[in-house]
């Protein structure tokens, strides 16, 4: 097998894997992670189960592949946080508002991440998937932590709270609220009579005010 043939085969395999991921993500969003079965995915792709298993070992592996692909995209984009703002507080403001703006263009992706969190809320299906997923999460957390560290060092962010506690508190608040708005924003607007954008803006303002140094 010559080099050109190898490259063509690799490109074909990558394209087929991407087609499976795209089809699976669409089905997951339409029906939910616990509802979609392997038969649904292969039917959507127009392939056999034999072909599917050439690329993925299970439906869980596909689900994790979709999730990790989305998170990798966010982590790459999040690197821009470190170049916007004169100090850590301003960079944190940019990062929070960036995430809010991202909801407008990436609603489906954020909705999927929310569905993933709910579906795998108690355990991960295999140690291999768990380890790969947690390794990726650590990359994203380091970017967020670096902003807090910079702010503490330059005096723009309070230094009287354990940074790990602060990091995960902000991360959990923002992730949960943004995912909820992606999944149920319009229903919440009807039920609560408040524009979801106002809720998100208030969340950002509360976090930023809380981060200011104590006088």
CA proximity to 74, closest of 140, 146, 147, 148: 140
40-68 pLDDT, tens digit per residue, is 999 998 899 999 999 999 999 999 999 99
Supply the DSSP symbol for 119.
Answer: H
Q: What pLDDT, on the 0 to 100 scale, is given for residue 8?
A: 73
Phi, psi of 124 (to 5 degrees): -100, 150
What radius of gyration do the chain's Cα atoms show?
A: 20
Alpha-carbon distance of 173 to 165, in angstroms, equals 12
Q: What average pLDDT does this structure show over 154-181?
A: 92
4: Cα separation from own chain's centroid: 36
pTM exceeds cut of 0.85: no
Domains of the chain: 1-56 (1.10.10.60), 59-211 (1.10.357.10)
């Amino acid at each position: 097998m010559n080099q050109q043939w190898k490259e063509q085969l690799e490109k074909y395999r990558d394209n087929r894997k991407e087609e499976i991921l795209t089809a699976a993500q669409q089905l997951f969003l339409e029906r939910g992670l616990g509802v979609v079965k392997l038969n649904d995915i292969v039917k959507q792709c127009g392939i056999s189960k034999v072909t599917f298993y050439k690329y993925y070992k299970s439906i869980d592996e596909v689900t994790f592949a979709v999730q990790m692909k989305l998170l990798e995209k966010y982590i790459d984009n999040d690197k821009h946080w470190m170049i916007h703002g004169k100090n850590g507080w301003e960079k944190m403001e940019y990062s929070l508002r960036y995430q809010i703006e991202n909801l407008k263009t990436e609603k489906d992706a954020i909705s999927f991440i929310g569905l993933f969190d709910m579906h795998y809320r108690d355990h991960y299906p295999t140690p291999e998937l768990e380890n790969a997923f947690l390794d990726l999460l650590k990359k994203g957390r380091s970017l967020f932590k670096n902003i807090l560290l910079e702010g503490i060092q330059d005096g723009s962010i309070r230094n009287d709270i354990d940074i790990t506690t602060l990091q995960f508190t902000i991360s959990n608040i923002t992730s949960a609220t943004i995912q909820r708005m992606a999944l149920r924003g319009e229903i919440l607007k009807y039920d609560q009579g408040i524009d979801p954008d106002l809720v998100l803006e208030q969340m950002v303002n509360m976090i930023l005010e809380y981060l200011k140094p104590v006088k």
